[in-house]
Every structure is written in structure tokens, then in C-alpha cells.
Amino acid sequence: MSKRFPVSSLLPVAVLLLLLLVPWLSIHVPVVFNGPLNTPGNLQLLAVGFTLGIAALSYNLLFGYTGVLSFGHALFFGAGVYLPAIALRHWEWTVGPSLLFGLAGGILLAVAVGALSLRTHGVYFAMVTLAFAQAGAVIVGKNVGDLTGGEEGLSLRTRGLPDWMVGVVNTDKLYWLALSMLIVVYLLAWRLTTSPMGQIWKGIRENEQRIEMLGVRPYVFKLLAFVISSSLATLGGTIYLFLASGATPRVVSANFTVTLLLMVIIGGSGSLWGPIAGALLYHYLDVRLTDWAASDVVADLPVVLSRPLRDPLFIFGTIFILLVMFFPRGLAGAFGGRSRPFRHVLGGAVARSVTAHGKGPE
Amino acid sequence: MSTFVLLTLTGLALAAMYFLLAAGLSLIFGLMDVLNFAHGAFFTWGAYSAWWTIDRFSPAGTGSTPAFFLAIIAATAVGAVLAAAVEIGLIRPLYRRPIFQVLVTLGAGLALSQLTSVIWRPDARFFPQPGWLSDTSTILGARVPNNRFLLILAALAVLGGMLLFLSKTRYGLIVRAGAENREMVRALGIDVDRAFTLVFALGGALAGLGGAFGAAYFGAIDPTFGSVNLIFAFIVVVIGGLGSVTGSALAAVIIGLAQQFGNYYTSWAGDFVIVLLLAAVLLLRPGGLLGGSR
């Protein structure tokens, strides 16, 4: 595997430049975006997509690169959303300590959950992480200790924040924050996946027993992958908090993890950029379908069409099935080209790691 | 004392509902290695089919006894048909790619559950039931709704039936043998694929039945009904040991009681204790309580 810089053609650079310039571009893109491109609404749409991109990319470090299927990723994204929100709201901390608290909390949680869950394999691991995430969802949903606001969620307390992070006029600053974080996470992920550790991750994905026979403990490297991936999700969650101006229980739900998985499948699990593209596309469709469902065009359709169209989750479920059945490599598989870090994706590898251990303990 | 009796009986009824969901999950995984995320959707569809049947065949706003029993049959049938359709249409084509089988059940679970929201709207629906079922009986001073007893009886009957099916019938033998070594059974000239569909349909039927009884237990249903309970069923299956029906029954009782007693003290303690139990079991017996031999 070459350590070539990930930007191997002009296209990604052009896309990146364009994205950096978006807050200054007041051009109209009819149908795709409402009004000029740089309205706060459109910037918000893209920026939330970037934070979901961070989450999906981090998820794929585990799922696509290490072959570990976790159903608990929402827990760590949610920690990044809720912990700083709680510190800001209830303890009236300033933004710096709140962010550190969120990140430290996310990392500690990841170490604890990972160390425990990774004692199991395959399907057991998936269910155990699901259970831990469910515990998190219960704590948030039932408003334990009056901290999380329960089903209502928690609005962001803006008094502890610097001025540039507050208000609709400053959406452009948050946009750049989200984009630069996405770039940093992408470069970090690229560096990690091409490092010797990344090679071991891929080795674990391909054949865990063989890695073990080489004298490497897969457990340690899976735990590293789990902690790194989860911490990056926490980081994404924190930026999401500022963009969404608050925390809602949705971000710790099992459905949110399913959503991340869907983003990865849409984009393709075989590349770093695939999940980002998948996240952007997913979030865009999610917002647009909801807008669209409320429009007259849909209302005028016969009931058999209009009812399903009003239910984004139903549509995404159907898309999920179709992708898995017919386009298992997602966007990255369709437009892969040179930037694809490895060729055969998921095919037998993760599958083998699931079934090899699926029958129970070693 | 009366609180203790009430919590115990309600906990056992909850356990019975979890068992109806978990037994199918466990059997499907034991035979096919597929973690079936669509199982919650079969449960939801069972609940909605039962609700629809009662609503249609009883006087408005009430539940008549014949309609209730018809609803039970309808729920079971719908669960079985849906499950067989998912197995034949979605899972079988992905036979060589197990991870994609899991993913496709996830998509099917999402789409099928949401389909109830598409058809009957997302709002919660009151579940009408015959008076004798929602009435309470007094046992040792505790007033326990009769549907709790019916649920427990149904689960016991299912447990007995499944154990007989697995140990006495030819198909039960194939299922048990297939769980041990699928390729060997295939090599002996037995059509394992048909056993797959059968196990899926059986699991779907039990989930549908569980959905109907669950609707009576909770008194109301909504499209997330199945996915909420599916997570607890997963925990039951893991604690009991994947592939073990008796293990699922045992774990369901532990989880149902722990949840009821825990949630009696605070609204979240029960759910939390369950996750701690799961962690403890995985640390001490990673294969589950009765799954160690596999």
C-alpha cells in the first residue's frame, strides 16, 4: 500500500476549494438548493452533513477497515452532543472546559465499553454494543438525574460561548469549523489507515486468526480502532451540538447507528471519502424529503404514493434493502477509481470474521 | 406482599412476551447464523394485524371474545407469512454473504416497521380487548390483569411445543442437526434451505403471536412497538445463549423480573440493571447461560 497523499487527482482539490468558498458564493442552484447557496439554511444543511460525515467516516474505520460491526456508535456521537451540552447548561462551564469534558468523557466511555465488549466476537459483539447504547438511550430518554431533559432534549446555553459561535449570522463560521474538522479527521483517518496499525486492522478484517498467529494480539488493535473511531464520533457530535443548537435523544438512539450504517453503505465501505459522500447525500435527502413531503406536489398524488413519500424512514429502509441487494459497494464502488484504498470490500472478509466467531466464544 | 405478587406476575408476563420474540431469534441464529433485525417488524405487524382484526370484527371501541381469538390467529399468520417472504425474497439471495444478510434484515426491519406508520399513521393506537381479558383477578391481595395470565400460559405452551418439535419431529431433528453442522446435513441429501424457510416462518409466527399478546399487555401500539422490544429480546437471546430455546426461556424470566422490579423503584433502574446483567454474563460466561456447549 503506497503512502501517496490521498489527493491523487485534481477533482478532490476542486471539490474542497469549492466547499471552502461556499459561504461567499451567492449563486443560485435551482431545484437542489433553496435560494442562494450561502444562505444560513443551506450552510447549516451542508455543515450538519459534514458532522455526520465525521461520524460515518469514524464508523467506517471500525466497520469497513477493521471488520468490526458495532451497533453502539450512536452512544459516542451522543456523548459528544450531550456531555458538553450538560456542562454548559447545568454547570455553566465555559466552552473550552465543556469541550474537553465531552471529549474526555467520550474517550473514557469508549475504553470502558470497548474493553468489555471486545471480549466477545461477531454477532455477540454487535448485540452487546447495542445493549450498551440502549443503556445510554435510557439514561438520556428517562432524564436520569434531571440532566438530559428527557424526550424534550437540552437546548444549547449560549452564554458560555464566544460570540462567533452564536446566532444565525455566524452560520458561516460554524460551517468552516465543521468543514475544517472534517478535513482534519479525514487526514487523520488516512494517516491511520496507511500506517502499520492500519495494516493490522485490515489484516484483522481479512483473517483474525492469521494475525494472531503472527504474534500480534488482535484484541489490542481492535480496542485501539474502537477507541479512536468512537472518539472521532464524539468530536463529530460536539460540532453537531453547536450546529443544531441543542441535544435531542435522537442522536443516542439505535436508529441513529442504523442511519450511520446506511450512510456507509450508500457511500461504500471501501474508501474514506465514500462514507462522507454517503452522509452528505443521506442528510440532504432526509431534509429535502421532509420538505418535499409537505409540498403540494406530494399532497396531490394518489394516497398509495403520497403516504410512503411522507415517511423518510420507510424510503431509507427500502433504499437500504436495494443497495445491499444490488449495489453493495455504494458510491465508492461505482465511481471508485484510484482513490479507493483497497479493492475487494467486505465481500467475504467481514463475513468470515462474523461467522468464524459467530458460534460463540473461542 | 401484594406489590411483590403483582410485580412478579407482571414480570413473568413481560418475560413471556420477550420469550415469544427471543425463541424465534435464537432458533434462526442457531440454524442460519443470521442475526435477524427484521424480527421486531414481525412483532409490530403481529400487533397491528391483531388490532386491525379486533377493530374490524367487534362493535366500535370494544373487543369481542371471538374477534380477539381471530386476532391471535391473524397475527400469527401474518408474522409467519412476512417472515417466510423476507427469508425467500431477501435473505436467500445473499446466502454466501452473511454480513449482507444481517444488513438486509436491518433494512427490512426498518422498512416493514415504517410501513405500519405509512398505512395506519404514526400515532399510538388503543388496543381494544374483551372485558374478561383486561379485568383483574385478585391473588394474595394483588389485582392482576387477566391478560398477564393468558400471556404466561401462551408462552409456556409455546415453550413446551417447541421442545417437543425439536426433540420428537423429523423437522426438529433437521433443525438441530443443521445448527450443529449445516454442510453435513446438506451432504446427507436433506433440503436445508426448506428448513431455513420453516424456521424463519416459525420464528415469525411466534413474533406475530408475541406482538398480539404484547398489544394486550401494554394496551396500546405504535410503529416503534417492535424495535423497542427487539433490543430486550436480543439481550435475552445473548444471556440465554444463542441457539438455545430453554436458555431463552430462562433468560427471559430473569430479564422480565429484573426489569419489573427495577423499574418499580425508579423509572430507569430496571432497564439499566438488565444491561449490567448482560455485561456480567458476558464476562463470566461469554456463550450465555445455556449456550456454553456450542
The percent of residues in chain A predicted with pLDDT above 90, rounded, is: 34
pLDDT value of residue A94? 87
Q: Can you tell me which residue has the cell 400487533?
A: B47
B250-274 confidence digits (pLDDT tens): 999 999 999 999 988 887 788 888 8
Q: How many CB atoms lie within 10 A of CB A74?
A: 31
pLDDT value of residue A336? 58
pLDDT value of residue B280? 84
Cα of B33 to nearest chain A Cα, Å = 7
- pLDDT band of A6, cuts 50, 70, 90: low
Q: Can you tell me which residue has the cell 435475552?
A: B236
pLDDT value of residue A362? 30
pLDDT value of residue A79? 95
Q: Can you tell me which residue has the cell 453502539?
A: A72
H or E element that contains A155 = strand A154-155
Q: Can you tell me which residue has the cell 413471556?
A: B16
pLDDT value of residue B254? 95
What is the interface pTM, i.e. ipTM, of the complex?
Answer: 0.85
What residues does A36 pair with on adjacent strands?
Answer: A28
Cα of B160 to nearest chain A Cα, Å = 25
Q: Can you tell me which residue has the cell 452512544?
A: A75
H or E element that contains A8 = none
Q: How many CB atoms lie within 10 A of CB A195?
A: 13
Taking contacts as CB-CB distances below 8 angstroms, the residues of chain A near B279 are 116, 128, 132
Over residues A295-304, the mean pLDDT reads 75
| 8 Å CB contact of B90 and A325 | yes
Chain A / chain B CB contacts < 8 angstroms:
147
β-bridge pairing B125-126 and B220-221: antiparallel
Q: Which of residues 52-71 of A touch B (CB under 8 A)?
A: 69
Q: Which of residues 318-357 of A touch B (CB under 8 A)?
A: 318-321, 323-325, 328, 346-348, 350-351, 354-355
Contacts of residue A341, Cβ cutoff 8 Å, sequence gap at least 6: A1, A193, A194, A270, A271, A272
- Candidates A131, A310, A354; nearest CB to B98: A354
**Chain B residue whose CA is closest to A68:** B99
Q: How many CB atoms lie within 10 A of CB B15?
A: 27
pLDDT value of residue A11? 79
**Chain A residue whose CA is closest to B103:** A324
A231-269 confidence digits (pLDDT tens): 999 999 999 999 988 888 889 988 899 899 989 988 888
pLDDT surpassing 70 at residue A7: no
- pLDDT band of A340, cuts 50, 70, 90: very low
Contacts of residue A63, Cβ cutoff 8 Å, sequence gap at least 6: A69, A70, A261, A264, A269, A350
Lowest mean pLDDT among A250-259, A320-329, A333-342: A333-342
- Candidates A119, A261, A328; nearest CB to B283: A119
| 8 Å CB contact of A120 and B115 | no
Cα of A111 to nearest chain B Cα, Å = 15
Lowest mean pLDDT among A166-170, A198-202, B186-190: A166-170
Taking contacts as CB-CB distances below 8 angstroms, the residues of chain B near A320 are 103, 106-107, 110-111
Q: Does A195 touch chain B (CB under 8 A)?
A: no
A325: helix, strand or coil: helix
* Tens place of pLDDT per residue across chain B (294 aa): 788 899 999 999 999 999 999 998 988 888 888 889 999 999 999 999 999 999 888 877 777 888 899 999 999 999 999 999 999 999 988 877 777 888 899 999 999 999 998 888 888 888 888 888 888 888 888 888 888 899 999 999 999 999 999 899 888 888 888 877 888 888 888 888 888 899 999 999 999 999 999 999 998 999 988 888 998 998 899 899 888 889 999 999 999 999 999 988 887 788 888 888 888 887 788 777 887 544
Apex B211 CA angle, B208 and B212, nearest 5: 95
- Candidates B100, B272, B287; nearest CB to A360: B287
Range ranked top by mean pLDDT from A47-61, A169-183, A338-352: A47-61
Report CA dihedral (B211, B14, B286, A68) to the nearest 10 degrees: 40
Range ranked top by mean pLDDT from A5-14, A24-33, A301-310, B148-157: B148-157
Report CA dihedral (B182, B184, B186, B189) to the nearest 10 degrees: -150
Q: Residues in chain B, how many?
A: 294
Q: Which of residues 253-312 of A touch B (CB under 8 A)?
A: 254-255, 258, 261, 265, 307-308, 310-311
Interface-testing mutation among B110, B117, B123, B180, with chain A (most A C-beta atoms within 10 A): B110
The beta-carbon contacts of B112-115 under 8 Å, at least 24 apart in sequence, are B112/A317, B112/B38, B112/B41, B112/B42, B112/B44, B112/B45, B112/B82, B112/B86, B113/A317, B113/B40, B113/B41, B113/B44, B113/B223, B113/B224, B113/B226, B113/B227, B114/A311, B114/A313, B114/A314, B114/A317, B114/B223, B115/A314
- Candidates A120, A311, A324; nearest CB to B104: A324
Contacts of residue A112, Cβ cutoff 8 Å, sequence gap at least 6: none
Q: What are phi and psi of A301, to 5 degrees?
A: -70, 160
pLDDT value of residue B113? 92
**Chain B residue whose CA is closest to A131:** B275
pLDDT value of residue B176? 84
| B149 vs A337, residue with greater confidence | B149
What are A308's three cell numbers?
410512503
End-to-end CA distance of chain A: 31
pLDDT value of residue A353? 44
pTM of the entire structure? 0.85
CA–CA gap between residue B48 and residue B220 (Å, rounded) = 10
pLDDT surpassing 70 at residue A354: no
| 8 Å CB contact of B99 and A354 | yes
Report CA dihedral (B169, B173, B174, B175) to the nearest 10 degrees: 100
Among residues B8, B260, B29, B13, the alpha carbon closest in space to that of B155 is found at B13
pLDDT surpassing 70 at residue A97: yes
- Candidates A128, A317, A318; nearest CB to B238: A128
| 8 Å CB contact of A314 and B118 | yes
Among residues A331, A201, A214, the alpha carbon closest in space to that of A263 is found at A331
Mean pLDDT of all residues belonging to chain A:
83
Q: B75 and B46 in contact (C-beta within 8 Å)?
A: yes
pLDDT value of residue A350? 45
- pLDDT band of A4, cuts 50, 70, 90: low
Percent helix, strand and coil across chain A, each to the nearest 5: 75, 0, 25
Cα of B212 to nearest chain A Cα, Å = 23
Taking contacts as CB-CB distances below 8 angstroms, the residues of chain A near B100 are 324, 328, 346, 351
pLDDT surpassing 90 at residue A110: yes
pLDDT surpassing 90 at residue A359: no
Cβ-in-10-Å burial (0-12, 13-18, 19+) of B64 comes to middle
A276: helix, strand or coil: helix
- Candidates B33, B90, B227; nearest CB to A355: B33
Q: What are phi and psi of B58, to 5 degrees?
A: -125, 165
pLDDT surpassing 90 at residue A297: no
pLDDT value of residue B77? 97
